[in-house]
């Protein structure tokens, strides 16, 4: 896609208090009490602040953690990984590159057959674009991720 993604200050002012705390202050939303933890709908997840594409439902799985979990990002160029030494441990924080939103953390306990990584992401940092709306929302290039799935149904 040729769209330029950036932190949209208007989008930041429209965030709910929880969305603001998560994306701008690196908070974590409650497990099992967030919008996408158990969603199985087909589509892509984008940064709520910048709109940059982050994850696809085809790479989402039930990690039983209570947060949306993905094996890989939709485009690694849109993800920044930083060491996080808060809470007395070392973790890898996941942020969006262009929106600089805190998304969640990366762990090495994901499905081995899919590379072993788990991107544990806060729903509050995401906006979901359903498969049927990819074209109209400007994410039509990502439809190809779902074509194999559609032909096997």
pLDDT tens across 32-70, in order? 999 999 999 999 999 999 999 999 999 999 999 999 999
The pLDDT value recorded for residue 149 is 57
Cβ neighbours, 10 Å, residue 3: 10
Question: 6-10, 25-29, 65-69: lowest mean pLDDT where?
Answer: 6-10
- DSSP letter for 16, please: -
The pLDDT value recorded for residue 152 is 46
Three-state DSSP class for residue 43: strand
Phi, psi of 120 (to 5 degrees): -95, 110
**pLDDT tier, 84 (very low <50, low <70, confident <90, very high otherwise):** confident
Phi, psi of 80 (to 5 degrees): -120, 135
The pLDDT value recorded for residue 1 is 44
The pLDDT value recorded for residue 135 is 96
Query: What number is the average pLDDT over the span 83-109?
Result: 91
- Bigger pLDDT: 28 vs 6: 28
Q: Which of 120, 124, 126, 134 is catalytic?
A: 120
Of 62, 44, 46, 42, nearest in space to 118 by CA: 62
Active site annotation includes 133: no
The pLDDT value recorded for residue 151 is 45
Question: 27-36, 62-71, 141-150: lowest mean pLDDT where?
Answer: 141-150
Over the chain, what is the mean pLDDT? 93
Tell which CATH architecture fits domain 9-147: Beta Complex (2.170)
What is the model's pTM?
Answer: 0.92
Q: What residue spans define the domains of the chain?
A: 9-147
């Amino acid at each position: 896609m040729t769209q330029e993604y950036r932190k949209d200050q208007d989008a930041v002012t429209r965030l709910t208090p929880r969305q603001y705390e998560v994306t701008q202050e690196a908070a974590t939303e409650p497990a099992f009490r967030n919008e996408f933890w158990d969603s199985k709908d087909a589509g892509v997840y984008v940064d709520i602040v910048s709109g940059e594409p982050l994850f696809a439902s085809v790479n989402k799985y039930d990690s039983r953690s209570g947060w949306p979990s993905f094996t890989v990002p939709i485009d690694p160029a849109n993800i920044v990984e930083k060491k996080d030494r808060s809470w007395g441990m070392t973790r890898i924080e996941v942020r969006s590159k262009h929106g600089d939103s805190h998304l969640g953390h990366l762990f090495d306990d994901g499905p081995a057959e899919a590379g072993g990584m788990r991107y544990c992401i806060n729903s509050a940092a995401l906006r979901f674009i359903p498969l049927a709306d990819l074209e109209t929302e400007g994410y039509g290039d990502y439809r190809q991720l779902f074509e194999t799935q559609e032909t096997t149904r």
